[in-house]
Amino acid sequence: MNIVLIGIIIYIVFQLLVGFIVSRSIHTENDYLLAGRKLGYILATFSIFATWFGAESCIGTAGAAYENGLAGVTADPFGYGVCLILMGLFFAIPLWKMKITTIADFFRIRFSARTEQLTALLMIPTSLLWAAAQIRAFGQVLAASSELSVTITVTIAAAVVITYTYSGGMWADAITDIVQGVILVAGLLILFVFVVGDLGSFSRFIDFIPAEKLSFVSSSGWSGPNTLHFMEAWTIPICGSIIAQELVSRVISSKSPTVARRSSLIAAALYLLVGLIPLTMGLVGSNLVPGLEHPEQVLPLMAQRHLSSFMYVLFAGAIVSAILSTVDSTLLAASGLLFHNVVFPLSRRLDESAKVRFERLGVVLLGLFAYIIALYAEGVYNLVKDASSFGSAGIFVVFVLGMYTKFGTARNALAALLTGAAVWLISHYGFAFSYSYLLALSASLLAYVLMFFAPFPAQTELSSPDQA
């Protein structure tokens, strides 16, 4: 057994121990999903950062920069960094003050119970796709560090993640996110320092970046298609992620609105700074290791070339940290949306311990679904891209208009949600349209506005009578 695999196994055992220890302090749904709303600056900041910094932020960003330069890396770290900034500036405090449990609760309070349930059902597949992407990436790391097949390692990865998320909930996530965040930053910094040292100086390191890769626009300039492509690339991570339950749950788990806002902004700064490391490694790697058939291999290959065995263990730990810190959050988010917003409203007699048991069961069942998706998916990149896009266009439009205007009722919201999801699915999968997310955003906004002028009266609204 090699030293890298031993290090990964030790790290996995630590995760499981934290989950089992923390499980003893969980008694209510609030404890399990929101850590009792007690996260301070350190826990909240590192939890937001580590959750957002997944496999695609390391491997995917480096590969995209290697292949297409800055024009290929709008999402990571820039798009997701902007998303965190917007959350801190405009949404963290209002969401925290509402004392909601999930983002779908907002749609019930502002619109109707039917809107809440539809929102939750649209968001659950997103979380499952994110979880599947991280489980598959974790399995690939284990496979690269052992002689096991990807099928076996993906199975091991799923079992580990499901087990400790089942046990510890948000408390386990937040505590392990600190360790994961520190290891992640340390591993990437070590790689950066060693590569710069081997090249002789930082200025020589910069000289290895091809000048043509330092533009956010492709070589053909601001033509119509290029402008639309640029807008599509930026709107998916920003609009598609600002309403993600994985992010919202950490904001509302903070112990005060001030902590919620400042932690989001600090996490955004940390995300952007750390995210520059895999980005620059990809840019430099296009000269150091040219001609790679699979660009996403550039970061691991550079680590193998420039790090000792012990340092490579730390780097592998950084990648595993990035993966685990994301996948546990997605499973918890999906379970919370399913049971808190869809199942529990059907039965109002459940006590807190019963709710926790059901939500833990949800983690297991949804984790198994994510595992099946991970086994048969073509790759991590496509899973992540679809996860950010599926159903989120309509949710974003309704969320922003509902938060900051009094315009629109449940029928406006339902029309926008259904239109956004339908337009994206048809245009993306049916016609392979290159700008399907922009189209879905526009269609959602149009549906929301036009429904205001619909001929039928407001009392025929498609909403549940028990809206909050």
Q: What amino acid is encoded at 62 in this protein?
A: A
User: 54-76: buried (b, 16+ CB within 10 Å) or exposed (e) per residue?
Assistant: bbbbbbbbbbbbbbebbbbbbbb
- Among residues 255, 254, 357, 349, which one has the least CA distance to residue 28? 357
Helices and strands of the chain, counted as H and E runs: 21, 0
- Tell me: pLDDT of 263 over 90: yes
Nearest 5°: the CA angle 264, 132, 21 is 65
More confident residue, 11 or 384: 11
Q: What amino acid is encoded at 3 in this protein?
A: I
Strand partners, 440: none
User: What confidence tier does 455 reach under pLDDT thresholds 50, 70, 90?
Assistant: confident
**Max Cα–Cα distance, the chain, nearest Å:** 73
Is the distance from CB of 371 to CB of 47 less than 8 angstroms? no
Per the listing, tokens 């004392």 go with 99
Residues with Cβ within 8 Å of 430's Cβ and at least 6 positions away in sequence, in order, are none
- Measure the CA–CA gap between 188 and 437, rounded to whole angstroms: 32
State the span(s) of the chain assigned CATH 1.20.1730.10.
Answer: 3-382
- Tell me: pLDDT of 382 over 50: yes
Q: For the chain, give the percent of residues with pLDDT over 90.
A: 46
Strand partners, 254: 39
Q: Output the pLDDT for position 462.
A: 42
User: What confidence tier does 4 reach under pLDDT thresholds 50, 70, 90?
Assistant: low
User: What confidence tier does 360 reach under pLDDT thresholds 50, 70, 90?
Assistant: very high
pTM, to two decimals: 0.87
Q: Output the pLDDT for position 461.
A: 44
Q: Output the pLDDT for position 466.
A: 43
**Mean pLDDT score of the chain, rounded to an integer?**
85
Nearest 5°: the CA angle 66, 68, 73 is 85
Q: How far is CA 290 from CA 23, 202, 218, 268, 284, in A?
A: 48, 20, 20, 32, 10
More confident residue, 466 or 208: 208
The dihedral over CA atoms of 435, 440, 443, 447, expressed in degrees to the nearest 10, equals 180
Q: What is the mean pLDDT of residues 318-324?
A: 75
Is the distance from CB of 414 to CB of 115 less than 8 angstroms? yes
- Measure the CA–CA gap between 201 and 298, rounded to whole angstroms: 21
Give the three-class secondary structure for 231.
helix
Which tokens is 123 given?
């968001």
Q: Output the pLDDT for position 463.
A: 41
Q: What is the mean pLDDT of residues 71-81?
A: 82
User: What confidence tier does 190 reach under pLDDT thresholds 50, 70, 90?
Assistant: very high
Q: What is the mean pLDDT of residues 353-357?
A: 93
- Tell me: pLDDT of 465 over 60: no
- Tell me: pLDDT of 300 over 60: yes
Instruction: Kindly state the helix (H) or strand (E) to which residue 169 belongs, with its residue range.
Output: helix 150-199
User: What confidence tier does 157 reach under pLDDT thresholds 50, 70, 90?
Assistant: confident
- Tell me: pLDDT of 80 over 50: yes
Q: Output the pLDDT for position 460.
A: 43
Q: In CATH terms, is domain 3-382 a member of 1.10.10.10?
A: no
- Among residues 292, 312, 313, 296, which one has the least CA distance to residue 304? 312
User: What confidence tier does 456 reach under pLDDT thresholds 50, 70, 90?
Assistant: low
- Tell me: pLDDT of 144 over 70: no
Q: Output the pLDDT for position 211.
A: 85
- Tell me: pLDDT of 141 over 60: yes
Give the three-class secondary structure for 81.
helix
User: What confidence tier does 193 reach under pLDDT thresholds 50, 70, 90?
Assistant: very high
